[in-house]
Amino acid sequence: MEDKRIKQFVFEQQLKAEYWDWEEDKLKLFEHWEENKLRIFEEIYQRLKTLESEKVKLECLAIIIHYLDKNDLNEFIFPHIHLYGKYTDKRTLARIAKVLGIKEQYIEIPKNGNKYFEENQLAYLTHAQQPDKYQYPTHEVETFGTFDYSNFILINTKKFEKQSATVKRKRTDESLDLINQQILKGELFLEDILADDDLFLLYSNHKLQFKQAFDSYAERLAFKNLKDLTTGKYKLTVMYFQGKSSLGKSYLARTIAQKVREYAEENKFKSRIYSASSSNPFDDYYGEDIILLDDIRPDSLRKADWLKLLDPINTSRMSARFTNKQVVPRLILITNTQLPEQFFNIFKDEALDQYIRRINFCTILSEKQLGKGYEGGVYYQLSQTKRLFSPKVRNISAYEKEEINFDLEAIFSTDNQEGFTEKLLTQYLLPRIYPKTEHDFDFLKPKIITKES
């Protein structure tokens, strides 16, 4: 069988002595390849030079060691050599393999007249067309003066950037189904995608598909939460914060939201916080269990949507700009400078009781007063909504009055924010949001039965 005759070739080989047919003293160079890199390159160069003749020269040699490549498990691959070589005329594959001291099957040659073989193989030395791989600097490529590798990369930069973008998009497209599955399982959220370059590229090219996946996840989560809510596994809790600007009601609300989330995660619940905007508040809601409505205006939602939000056992959907959504959280936090009675007073044609009775707790922040002066601190008062024994009357207009059957009743107050937060969480919020039931101890039953028997 006639040996293949070739002009150009590439090979890849690990820096392990078992793969090279070299003299013993030369093989020891691999043991400390970082120190001996240039000597290894020189050995390969001189071996390939032995195939030169008066008419055939080593026209191009480019060689590099890849030491930061990773596999699909994100594990480092053993350091290995990549080499591109080209003679001015053909040499047999067998002779090239023999002088290199490697087996023929490790040498790759152009197939089917591939006119881009040289360009692609040279680019691969530094991963110029592979954006998801480590980008090696051009100065790490040794050419022994046969080729200006840095200039090659420079003149092809725009082309490689375009090819790199195409490769990146193709590979991320292949991941789309997997990403959708992660979204539907609640393993991947919008903030994760925006923080990751590759995921963001995928998201930017498939926004509609991502939105459909997030909407589907939120819809299923709402269904499960509504089932838990109606069967008494938790109680929707609405917490209102009132105080004038600069007293720290937004900070307090965010602190409580974060502590509830931490508690949930410690107890194996999935928990996320949704901060709504003033305009179209629920456009970007995707099933978060904690909702923060910070300084929201009462007219940001329609009166019917307020009632749906505060009483989600009503299975109607909330209004949103693109798709109406069912919102079933565990905790709703509302901050405003007005008390609830004033806040909801804009809905003149709806009984105020409909809104007030759905506010479970209200924290009122006020300045500490010393005589007639400001002492420089803040009082925190927790109140809860109670049905009045005797209704009070409010004037709707000069000719119309309304009975109010619910009002706030103070529970406790303090000027210690940390103490207030801890007591609010442990005694009032968490027992409603994550109540302890006998089912929490089901895992002990097999052990108890075994012990008793």
Q: In the listed set 175, 199, 227, which residue is the last one of a domain according to the structure? A: 227
Same domain, 242 and 365: yes
Does residue 57 belong to any structural domain of this protein? Answer: yes
CA 9/CA 117 separation, integer angstroms: 9
CATH code, domain carrying 422: 3.40.50
Please tell me what DSSP assigns to residue 325: B
Instruction: Give the tokens for residue 418.
Output: 């940390």
Closest C-alpha to 139, from 34, 246, 62: 62
pLDDT of residue 449: 42
Mean pLDDT of 285-300: 90
283 and 215 within one domain: no
Q: For residue range 18-67, what is the model confidence (pLDDT) as tens digits? A: 999 999 999 999 999 999 999 999 999 999 999 999 999 999 999 999 99
Question: Average pLDDT for residues 181-208, to the nearest whole number?
Answer: 87
Indicate whether 158 belongs to any domain: no
125 and 11, same structural domain?
yes
Judge if 99 and 218 occupy the same domain: no
Q: What is the pLDDT of residue 124?
A: 93
Checking if the pLDDT of 198 tops 80, the result is: no
Whole-prediction pTM: 0.60
Taking a C-beta distance cutoff of 8 angstroms, is the pair 434, 386 a contact?
no
Q: Are residues 17 and 142 in the same domain?
A: yes
Count of domains observed in the chain: 3
Answer yes or no: is pLDDT of 240 > 60. yes
Residue 208, domain extent: 165-227
Helix (H) or strand (E) holding 377: strand 373-395
The amino acid present at 340, given as its one-letter code, is: P
Report whether pLDDT(276) > 80: yes
For residue 315, pLDDT over 60 is answered with: no
Residue 444 lies in a domain: no
268/213 same-domain check = no
User: CB within 8 A of 364, min separation 6: which ones?
Assistant: 242, 243, 339, 380, 381, 383
Distance CA 32, CA 68 (A): 16
Residue 320 within a domain: yes
Average confidence (pLDDT) over 167-185: 76
Tens digit of pLDDT for each residue in 331-340?
Answer: 999 999 999 9
Average pLDDT, the chain: 86
Question: Does 159 reside within a domain?
Answer: no
Query: 231: left (phi > 0), else alpha (psi -120 to 50), else beta?
Result: alpha
- For residues 191 and 250, state if they share a domain: no
Asked whether residue 82 is domain-assigned, the answer is: yes
Task: Say yes or no: 259 and 222 in one domain.
Answer: no
Q: Which of 227, 242, 271 is the last residue of a domain?
A: 227
Classify 9 as helix, strand or coil: strand
Do 418 and 317 lie in one domain? The reply is yes
What value does the mean pLDDT take over residues 393-422?
A: 85
Residue 314 lies in a domain: yes
Same domain, 118 and 187: no
Cα separation values, 16 from 19, 39, 153, Å: 6, 15, 30
Do 137 and 212 sit in the same domain of this protein? no
pLDDT of residue 123: 92
Fill in the amino acid letter for 202.
L
**CATH number for the domain harbouring residue 47:** 3.40.1310.30
Residues 363 and 221 in one domain: no
Please tell me which residue, 384 or 174, carries the higher pLDDT value. Answer: 384
User: Quick check: is 156 in a domain?
Assistant: no
pLDDT per residue over 62-110, tens digit each?
999 999 999 888 899 999 999 999 999 999 999 999 999 999 999 999 9
